Chains A and B, each alone.
Chain A
């Protein structure tokens, strides 16, 4: 399926025009994106470092993870909303940017990983799960979300 016409349409859409015309609004979108990234990073690190027994070892991991997941979802929604806004303004350029596609792949992998693997697994009592599995999930999660952030930053450099 050819995606270029969709990206060309996105750039001429109202969202794309706003981002293109008003530099200040675009910059605020970028800032919100970064702050949401920080919140998402905080919840991911809190969850994964707890599973790795690095922080809050004396607090049950189920408790930490349930609390963190609520804010993870909030952060993810803000990241996606501001990300769509930012990408729309420069959509055609994004289409030809390999880091953009790397980030989208990493983000999709992250979302699938969280909602199809990590959450269903961690809904079970953690004491019943093999500690090695918990640690592997935490390591995989850290690698995936670090990749999302790093590839996102490199979009601007290429």
Chain B
């Protein structure tokens, strides 16, 4: 199977997108072990199966979509979706290297306790800056459903953080 990138090009792309894709996959599957499998598959597809990209944004969007699809495949078996327990230790989740402070840990727990579909739209909207229309395209869902999830996720977080 022919690779469509040189080793140097691959490493540059890996460095550029690894943390973006890691955050998206973690937002879905909530543990680093599964995230590693998903990232590996995403980059295999980038190296061997990706189309030619005219612009950097196209490549970024393609990588995000592949990651989201793989995450959805991963959680297609339903019970996977919520098997990770946010009460697990940082070692168990494979995130001890993040070095979160106490306030960040609190936010992390509250965000990870949200339903999956609310976590992902909050991340893509508030951190990556995507519009609801763009998120609908990435997650292959309706714009109105994305707006609804964003609204509910925001309200739920606000409520839980105040409690």
Q: Do these two chains really belong together in a complex?
A: no
Q: Which residues of B contact A (CB under 8 A)?
A: none
Q: Which residues of A contact B (CB under 8 A)?
A: none
